[in-house]
Structure 1
Amino acid sequence: MVTAPPTSALVVFALVAVAVGLFVTEVVSPDVTALSVLVALVLLEPWTGVGPQAALSGFASPATITILAMFVLSAGVQQTGAIRRLGALVAEFVAGDRRRLSTAIVAMTGPLAGFVNNTPVVAMFIPMVTELADEVHLSPSKLLIPLSYASMLGGTLTLIGTATNVLASDLLDELVGQSFSMFSFTPLGVVVLLVGSAYLLLVAVPLLPERIEVVDLVSEFGLEGYLHRVYVRRRSPLIGLSVAEAMEELDVDVDIIQIVRGEETLIAPVDRTIEQQDVLTVRADRDALDAFVALGALRRLPQARVTERELVEPEGLGTLVEASIARKSALAGETLRTAELRRRYTDTVLAFRRGGDLVHEDIADFEMSEGDGLLLYTTQETVDRLRSDGDLLVTEVARLPNHEETFPPLFETKAPLAIGVVGGVVALAALDVLPIAIAALAGVVAMVVGGVIETREAYKSVDWEVILLLAGIIPLGLAIQSSGGAAYLGELVAAAAPALPALVVLGAFYLLTGLLANLVTPVASVVLVLPIAVETAANVGADQFAFALGVTFGAATAFTTPIGYQTNLMVFAPGGYRFTDYVRVGLPLQLLLTVVTPVAIDLLYSV
């Protein structure tokens, strides 16, 4: 018979309920919720058993340190161009074959994500995938969710595959004095990756709808009726004005994006001066165009159809760029008017895409949100700034047909050094020469000293929200344990399911963790469920290590929502997806792995 829970456990359960509610509703950001939980644990110390020192232990946790270092190591590999070079090799392998393309994406992304943080892997692969999909006349909607899912599955191959793995190892060590080694996950991870990859290739790719048609970016964003050319006549009042002054003077919803002047084609930054006989390429709806022509004493050129090629050619001056609002971008909640995007980047936003909806009118006052897609016209130089600043995720850059990206000789770059450093970190940790946190920090030092990444870029590469989330949420796991909450729930599960095999109980914990991961992030789901799962394993006579594996792998299955994991959100706009697409493809995969993973754990580790 299970006794009533202690008062201390009830207090912690109430705190958990409030935290889960805040995580789900995002009334405040997850990192702020986590730090609020940390403060509440100390204020309620008589019940939680967590004092100031224990509450701050998350900041000194090996998990937090390791994850911080892995962000920098991944950014170092990315900056060397190694992943873009890999994309060029894939393009050669694909050679126009659709099946080869989908196979190459899944087969390459999974193993790579086992050793390099999957977020930058997906960020670098999105442009490659969209361009290669265009070459084989396949909708990118067929490939981008599989790209995200493959990266999540690949993260289960090694300890450093995801932040969640490192955190789970640290928690397990605190709970039972046993932690995961570098390759503890690998046998099970290989099974999960193979099963998941087979599902992605045989089921997901055929099942996904073609949300985005295989067309150029102008057509993809529905801009055929919104791009026009006008001629600057001799008596136009715009002559001598800068582009910014002209648009302010006429005060209509028009953007001047390009100037054709004789044999020259010029991108139109706000300080470019308009001259007589210029041909202006403008973005405007029909009414705004009529007003612009009338007020500016211009002449419309109705036969001049503006295509992607005409905007990109001559190469090197201007280009079309598809991007999306990055997770936790400073642009979220801003409008083009308040963010002054054109002045910051010398670009013009031509249209927005939110899910399957396109926005062409009054875009200056459109409030941007995470995951929104944008079509920009800008310079090639600005593309590099967009990639490095982090507020926008570049997902496709328009290029002329038969364009081939050139790379310097491999050994004239820092790529071999960066890859060698990551390999060294893995080897040092795997051979128990150094703890993983120390090995990862040594790798960061090696990359900075070796010139792979600058100190300023290293700091920028860290997702500080994740670090604060970890540091704030780790003490909650300690409170669940020290308050008696984990022991009580473990007894409750054991008493409620005396006739159930341990394998079924493991499957239930796997499914619970996966469902929570879709709502409150994988990190939070592990902190909430792992102490209870370990305690339950002890109560039912099962292996605690096996149950910890089940929870850790369950957290990697946030497949059914775009917000469950950040790579899902990253592909949302480029793929033109709807929320239901993740449920349609992700839920069957999640249920499939709910059966496969516990059975594989039992066969490999004996539940």
Structure 2
Amino acid sequence: MIDAPQPHALGAMLLTGAMFYGFVSGRARVEIISLLTISAIALGLYWFPLPGQSPTEGLKLAFEGFGHYALITICALMVLGRGLVTTGALEPVSRLLTRVWRFNRQVGLLVTLLLAFGMSMMVNDTPVLVLMLPVMAAIAANGGMPASRTLIPVNSAVLIGGMSTTIGTSTNLLVVSIAGDLGLPPMSVFHFTPIVLLAALVALPFIWLVMPRLLPDNSVEAGHEPRHFAAMLRLGESSFAHGLSRDLIAARLPADVELLAETPAGGRIPVRATHAALEQTMRILGATAAPVWLMDRLRGGYAQTGDDITVAELAVTKDSGLVGKGVASANVAELYNVAILGVHRAQRRWATQPMNDSASENAFDEGDILLVAGALGSIERMSLAENMLVLEGAKELPRTSKAPLALAIMACAVIPASIGLVPIAISALGGAIAMLVTGCVRFDRIGRALSAKVIVLVAASIAIGRIVLESGAAAWLSELIALGLQFLPPAGVLAAVMLFVTVLTNFASNTTAAAVGTPIAFSLGQKLGIPVEPLVLAVLFGCNLCYATPVAYQTNMLIMSAGDYRFADYTRTGLPLVAIMVLTLSGLLVLRYGLY
């Protein structure tokens, strides 16, 4: 039997559990939960300091994550990745993929997986997937595999590639930095790359050959329902629909248009339809999907410049400024001279309510897709300023003249760190400054490169990791876990730790799982007499095995609407991949560290 935890340890565990619950429930935004966690630590340690510490030391513990070198490194790498994307430095990869897919589908998918894996070793996972999304959509439209059968495999390859280096994901940097603070010798960029490469060789056949067969064909050609947009149509004065019932109006509309009200009210009628059906419905009804004055202004203004009105689909990303806003509060008409015609809600909330002007009732969320109209330049400005992903129509034009420079800066930042000449924090920071000074990333766009959510989350994760360790919670939890693992061989211990962290990361935050799991790994190694480094790597690998749920990682959510996926699609393909990776990685760790 083990003794009951001390009050500070119990408080740390309760706070960690509350934070996990907050992330899983989704009742509040990640930033809010992270800031509340930091505040709870600061106030709690101020009024009830740790034994032998003053109240001000508790404040330092709570807020030091904002100045931690791991966070500085993560921000610098975000800027470096943004430079590669905005200069089009990775565009040659896209052109190569298109040519290979035209030659052979299976070969094309294999080459795509390998390239996605390779790019994510050096560039953060999210920019790589943002690059791949329009490429895979174009390949599907030109006769390749349906996007629904390629996006989850490509995302899996990106996640495994990001796992293979210390700079591949912010989670890796967080684990390595916390382990370094606890006394583990520094790890180079490619310290554990051979282990992940061998595991990838085992997992690749499943991802390449089996995973696409487990996924549905969600293409329109296969009879799957295309993307539908909820819209509020404004009837013109001469429209026949005024005063008619729902049935009489529906009889004259395309079959796949759903009317969401019995009769028009105030000259408005809410509908849900595909993009093509929505345009046809507007012609039949003599209606517009945006205010008449706005559409008149768009047509009049663009008639003078010669620019045609373009309609495009824009995906709301996790860092978009539109998250939490409605049509009125977003104010895109005045800011960018763009009209929002309709919205396709992300599948996690199957809302069919029409789009209206109430931000509280119809706030945009991550994964939503907006149907917008405007000049091509206006749509591009909106996508850049609001950090949105263009799915159809407009496209951000990269500054290709600076692409070689961006690649050179990235190489100069990564190579010295990989061979141990300078710490990655120094080389990444120097590379980020170079990207800004040379104009590869503009100063006025630096906010698009950095993610406020990631910054606050990492700071909170560092704070929670420190309090779990210093309060004695990590030691108490490791004793409890050791009771159940003491009779297992080292391979079983490593697999159990990896699986434990994997469960946490698939239902909560992987950065928080890393912050909690790393100090537990240290204490567990001391209890069981196992070297600390393989246990830390088990935590690092487990935090990256986020394939089984759409909420496990931001890239999982990013592909959900684009692939028209359901929750079960992630589980069906992710659970076997998790099992393959846990068994393979734990076995390789035993071989690498001689834990027979």
Tell me which interval the TM-score lies in, with the shorter structure as reference length: 0.7 to 0.9
Q: What RMSD over aligned residues (CA atoms) do the two structures have, in Å?
A: 3.4
Judging changes above 3 Å, is the alpha-carbon distance between structure 1 residues 489 and 358 closer, same or farther for their aligned structure 2 residues? closer
Q: Secondary structure at the match of 1:104?
A: helix
Cα 1:345–1:565 change in 2 (3 A) is: farther
1:220 and 2:226 aligned: yes
Q: 1:173 aligns with which of 180, 184, 191?
A: 180
| In structure 1, distance between residues paired with 2:183 and 2:117 | 31
Partner AA of 2:495 in structure 1: G
Task: Report the 3-state secondary structure (helix = DSSP H, G, I; strand = E; otherwise coil) of the residue aligned with 2:560.
Answer: coil
Query: What are the residue-to-residue correspondences of 1:488-499 with 2, within 5 Å?
Result: 488-499=476-487
Q: 2:106 aligns with which of 99, 102, 125?
A: 99
Q: TM-score, normalised by structure 1?
A: 0.80
Q: SS in structure 2 opposite 1:526?
A: helix
Could you say what secondary structure the match of 1:317 adopts?
coil
Alignment CA distance shift 1:98-1:398 (3 Å): farther
Bigger drift between 97-106 and 567-576 goes to: 97-106
Name 1:606's counterpart in structure 2: 594
Q: Determine the C-alpha separation between the residues in 2 that align with 1:406 and 1:450.
A: 18
Is residue 384 of structure 2 the alignment partner of residue 396 of structure 1?
no
In structure 2, how many angstroms separate the alpha carbons of the residues matched to 1:47 and 1:444? 38
Query: Residues 43, 371 of structure 1: CA spacing in aligned structure 2 closer, same or farther, 3 A cutoff?
Result: same
1:428 deviates by: 1.8
Could you say which residue in structure 2 is the equivalent of 1:312?
Answer: none
Query: Aligned partners of 2:219, 2:345: CA distance in 1, in Å?
Result: 11
Change in CA separation of 1:340 and 1:215 when aligned onto 2, cut-off 3 Å: farther
Q: CA distance change for structure 1 residues 390 and 567 in 2, over 3 Å: closer, same or farther?
A: farther
**Residue 358 of structure 1, CA deviation:** 8.8
Q: How many residues are treated as equivalent by the alignment?
A: 535
Q: Does the CA contact (< 8 Å) of 1:347 and 1:379 recur in 2?
A: no
Q: Which amino acid counterpart does residue 21 of structure 2 have in structure 1?
A: G
**Deviation (angstroms), 1:283:** 3.6
CA pair 377-193 structure 1, distance change in 2 beyond 3 A = farther
Normalised by the length of structure 2, the TM-score is 0.82
Runs of 5+ consecutive residues of structure 2 not aligned to the other structure? 240-265, 272-276, 289-305
Local SS of the residue matching 1:527: helix
Partner of residue 335, structure 1 = 326
Quick check: 1:376 aligned with 2:372?
A: yes
CA contact (8 A) 2:514 2:539 kept: yes
Q: Is the 8 A contact 1:211 1:356 kept in 2?
A: no
Shift of 1:461: 1.0
Does structure 2 conserve the Cα–Cα contact (< 8 Å) formed by 1:115 and 1:160?
Answer: yes
What is the distance in 2 between the residues matched to 1:360 and 1:345? 27
Kept in 2, the 8 Å contact 1:69–1:440? The answer is: yes
Given the alignment, which residue of 243, 252, 255 partners 2:268?
252
Q: What percentage of residue pairs aligned between the two structures are identical?
A: 28
SS in 2 for 1:51: helix
**Correspondence 1:322 to 2:313:** yes
| 3-state SS, counterpart of residue 132 of structure 1 | helix
Q: Give 1:131-530 correspondences, 5 Å limit.
A: 131-214=138-221, 220-221=226-227, 251-253=267-269, 283=279, 285=281, 289-290=284-285, 292=287, 317-343=308-334, 344-350=336-342, 352-355=344-347, 362-364=354-356, 366-397=362-393, 413-530=401-518
Q: CA deviation at 1:110?
A: 0.8
User: 1:352, 1:363 within 8 Å by CA — same for their partners in 2?
Assistant: no
CA distance in 1 between counterparts of 2:9 and 2:343 reads 52
Q: Does the Cα contact within 8 Å between 1:477 and 1:531 map onto a contact in 2?
A: yes
The yes-or-no answer on 1:43 pairing with 2:43 is: yes
Aligned mate of 1:60, from 56, 67, 74: 67
Counterpart for residue 260 of structure 2: none
SS of the equivalent of 2:486 reads coil
Supply the AA of the counterpart residue of 2:432. Answer: V
Question: Cα 1:102–1:397, aligned 2, differ >3 Å: closer, same or farther?
Answer: farther
CA distance in 1, matches of 2:284, 2:127: 41
Indicate the SS of the match to 1:324. strand
Q: Does 2:96 match 1:108?
A: no
Alpha-carbon deviations, 1:114-137, whole Å to 9, x = none? 101111111121011101111125
Cα separation, partners in 2 of 1:114 and 1:22, compared to 1, 3 Å = same
Q: Distance in 1 between matches of 2:386 and 2:343?
A: 20
| 178 and 570 in structure 1: CA distance in 2 versus 1, 3 angstrom threshold | same
Aligned match of 1:262: none
After superposition, the C-alpha distances for 1:7-27 in whole angstroms (9 at most, x for unaligned) are: 321121122122222222233
Q: C-alpha displacement at 1:140, in angstroms? A: 0.9
1:490–1:535 CA contact under 8 A, matched in 2: yes
In 2, the alpha carbon distance for the partners of 1:461 and 1:549 equals 28
Contact between 2:320 and 2:387, CA under 8 Å: does it hold in 1? yes
CA displacement at 1:520 relative to structure 2: 1.6
Q: CA separation of 1:289/1:74 partners in 2, compared to 1, >3 Å: closer, same or farther?
A: same
Comparing 355-364 and 439-448, the one that deviates more: 355-364
C-alpha distance in structure 2 between counterparts of 1:557 and 1:108, whole Å: 19
Please state if 1:555 is matched with 2:555: no
Q: Does 1:543 align with 2:534?
A: no
Q: Is the 8 A contact 1:153 1:193 kept in 2?
A: yes
CA drift at 1:216: 13
